[in-house]
Chains A and B, each alone.
Chain A
Amino acid sequence: MEISTRELKIMPTSSKLTFNDVVGTWKARWGINRMNYTVEPGLYSVGKPNRNSPVLVSANYKMSFDSLRKELDGVEAWILVLDTKGINVWCAAGKGTFGTQELLNRIAVVQLEKVVSHSTVIVPQLGAPGISAHVVAKFSGFKVVYGPVRARDLKEFIQLGMKATREMRTVKFTTYDRLVLTPVELVGTFKVSLMIFGVLFLLNLLGLGPFGLVDFYGYMGSVLVGCVLTPVLLPLIPGRAFAWKGWMLGFIWAIIVNVLNGWNEWTAVPQYSILKALGYILILPSVAAFLAMNFTGASTFTSFSGVLKEMRKAVPAIIISLVLGIILLLVNSFI
């Protein structure tokens, strides 16, 4: 009987990111080609790893893979890329695609035991919601060691003898972390915004206007408040619920819009009626609140139970406020 052996397939990669890699990350941040930004699952080599080199597990979202390998300058290591359908480690772990099954499967497919003589794989800590370390050990013989949350701590982690400090184990959400997430939030509103502008245009044609510049920048301001300003200032805004934080900044914005248009003590020539001014007070903060609430999905610390609790109050309040505001604007048009 002949025993067939499969060839080992090892793909060389580098710790240096090319110009295209940097552009690719930037595009994904703006939502361009973000759902198709993948690398091939399998085993990669960085530097000249040998049988004793560490095995680092990652996802096949290219931004995840790149942010790992760019931290490996001067490190000889293997990277085991799981098939997570192009999703990052943490989100894929939540869905289970970065999971026990796929890790076991990928270890077998690349024949990891023939590549390294040790039996340890370093899994990013944020992969833990999908992986049962003790189950992986039971079925593959490979011991899962959870690495640091951030790839940039990997070198230190390895130097410390695969020990992570409490600092390395904790997820943060710095101003920069929040800022890089805002473009994709903005891009996500484009379609709906265009639809709203279309409806306002039709209302103008029907003589139910005029809706004009103030409505445009009032709305766009609310979008910026909900998608950019609230996320960036997040921990500085009083309160805990995201919708509340967005509503507060949106309320300030609505006041600014009204003051700029003559609802103040100094110029005292209101450019529009009290109905429209009240309409803005009802609509603009609601838009910002809704968009800010959606940022819970991008944040690193909101729980399902918490978001649900927030939404049970916020969603009805937002809808009522929006409907009342729209009625005021339309009534204003008829007068």
Chain B
Amino acid sequence: MTNRYLKDVATLKLKSDQCTGCGRCLEVCPHNVFLIEDRKSVIADKDRCMECGACVKNCPFNALEVKPGVGCAFAIIMGWLTGTEPSCDCSGGSGGGGCC
């Protein structure tokens, strides 16, 4: 069984004119979002994107854009309560999150 999350939400963008087809994004993407077609990278399945930002960080040509963030409800609640950016920080010990 495959795990799939909400559709049409990911903020991932690919600027095709800046892409050289080096393939780094295919290498780092943990969810097989990209494919090489006609010597350029294309977003094959955007709904699989979890906005981790690995492709953006590793694109030497700045062809990728995403609003990176933690996909963690507990972090977002803590962000709302403390008025800060949600960050992946479960070190409080009372957290429901099992990430880190």
Contacts and interface: CB of A to CB of B under 8 A. Distances in A.
Contacts of B95: 188
A297 B30 contact: no
Q: Is the interface on chain A under 10, 10 to 19, 20 to 34, or 35 or more residues?
A: 35 or more
Contact of A303 (B9, B24, B74, B77): B9
Contacts of B40: none
Given A128-B57, A184-B98, A241-B6, A307 B73 contact: yes
B51 A298 contact: no
Interface in B17-75: 24, 26-32, 48-54, 57-58, 60, 67-75
20 contacts: A35-B91, A91-B99, A95-B89, A128-B52, A131-B57, A132-B57, A146-B27, A170-B32, A182-B98, A235-B1, A293-B73, A294-B74, A297-B97, A298-B99, A301-B71, A303-B5, A304-B51, A304-B86, A307-B71, A308-B76
A303 B26 CA distance: 18
Contact of A125 (B30, B87, B90): B30
Contacts of A70: none
Contact of B58 (A131, A171, A191): A131
A309 interface: yes
A101 interface: no
B2 A235 contact: yes
A204 interface: no
Nearest to A231: B98
Interface residues of B, number: 53
Given A166-B32, A294-B96, A297-B71, A306 B88 contact: no
Interface of B: 1-7, 9-11, 24, 26-32, 48-54, 57-58, 60, 67-77, 86-91, 93-100
Say what secondary structure dominates the interface of chain B: loop
Contacts of B88: 91, 94-95, 297
A169 B32 contact: yes
Interface of A: 31, 35, 87-88, 91-95, 125-126, 128-134, 146, 149, 164, 166, 169-171, 173, 181-182, 184-185, 188-189, 191-192, 227, 234-236, 240-243, 291, 293-311, 315
Contacts of B67: 304-305
A170 B31 contact: yes
A295 B99 CA distance: 9
Contacts of A146: 27-28
B78 to A, nearest CB: 10
A236 B3 CA distance: 9
Contacts of A304: 51, 67-71, 76, 86
A73 to B, nearest CB: 26
A237 B32 CA distance: 23
Nearest to B57: A132
A134 to B, nearest CB: 4
Given A235-B1, A295-B98, A298-B98, A303 B50 contact: yes
